Amino acid sequence: MSQFVFPPAPQTQLPVIGQSATFPVRRIYCVGQNYRAHAREMGSDPDKAPPFFFSKPASAIAQSGTRLIFPSRTQNLHHEAELVVAIGATAQNIAPDQAFDTIWGVAAGNDLTRRDLQAVAKKAGRPWDMAKGFDQSAVIGAITPIGQVKSLETGRITAKVNGGLRQDGDLGDMTWPVEDIISHLSRYVTLMAGDLIMTGTPEGVGPLQPGDTCVVEIDGLAPAEFAYLP
């Protein structure tokens, strides 16, 4: 039996509503500009492009309800309120009408973004990793099993900063519904149980400062919330 040269990093996990067992996270995929008004505020035409994807490391997850260190190397850190889909089955090249059966559950999440570094990367045609995949860049709430979810087609999604409403959208305004996202993504990679998909953010993204609290809420789900240390 082989041994590790040092103890491996712990498995990233998320709490699950109504049970003590946790959800083991494998990969985190993210969808860019999946709400029309947000695509426009980013300077894109939402009616032209198919969905595009990027990813964050699983180790970038910060648990909801925690106090976080404000990220380094940014003067323009943004919140992005997002529905997070937790995958529970293997999916490769599947059709949208097969996609629902691969969903284990859903959660509220915040795709924290160093917007200034992203703008530089976009302009230079460089990768987004340092803008999107930094430490504690994905704050995700407890997962609600899909059997307890009323609807993925509609539902209010909000982000509040220090109690003030900053984003106020509806899941029904997604350009690509959840099933379409899973279908598209499954043509690029083999989705497996434990994968998470952050499904894009509505309009109203904006800056966070040290000391701010930020809460993402979606109808019927547990919130994703945190406070930055001063």
Residues contributing to the site for Mn ion (CB under 5 A): 80, 111, 201
Rank residues 80 and 217 by Cβ distance to Mn ion and give the closer one: 80
For residue 101, the minimal CB distance to Mn ion (Å) is 25
Distance CA 229, CA 81 (A): 20
Rank residues 94 and 134 by Cβ distance to Mn ion and give the closer one: 134
Alpha carbon of 187 to those of 9, 52, 57, 94, 95: distances in Å? 30, 12, 20, 7, 9
- Residue number of the CB atom closest to Mn ion: 111
Rank residues 112 and 142 by Cβ distance to Mn ion and give the closer one: 112
For residue 47, the minimal CB distance to Mn ion (Å) is 19
CB 224 within 8 A of CB 109: yes
For residue 104, the minimal CB distance to Mn ion (Å) is 21
For residue 167, the minimal CB distance to Mn ion (Å) is 11
Rank residues 12 and 201 by Cβ distance to Mn ion and give the closer one: 201
Give me the residues paired with residue 206 across strands. 79
For residue 187, the minimal CB distance to Mn ion (Å) is 20
* Residues 6+ positions from 119 with CB-CB distance below 8 Å: none
Instruction: Pick the closest to residue 186 from 100, 69, 59 (CA basis).
Output: 100
Rank residues 113 and 144 by Cβ distance to Mn ion and give the closer one: 113
Where does residue 158 rank: exposed (0-12), middle (13-18), buried (19+ CB within 10 A)? buried
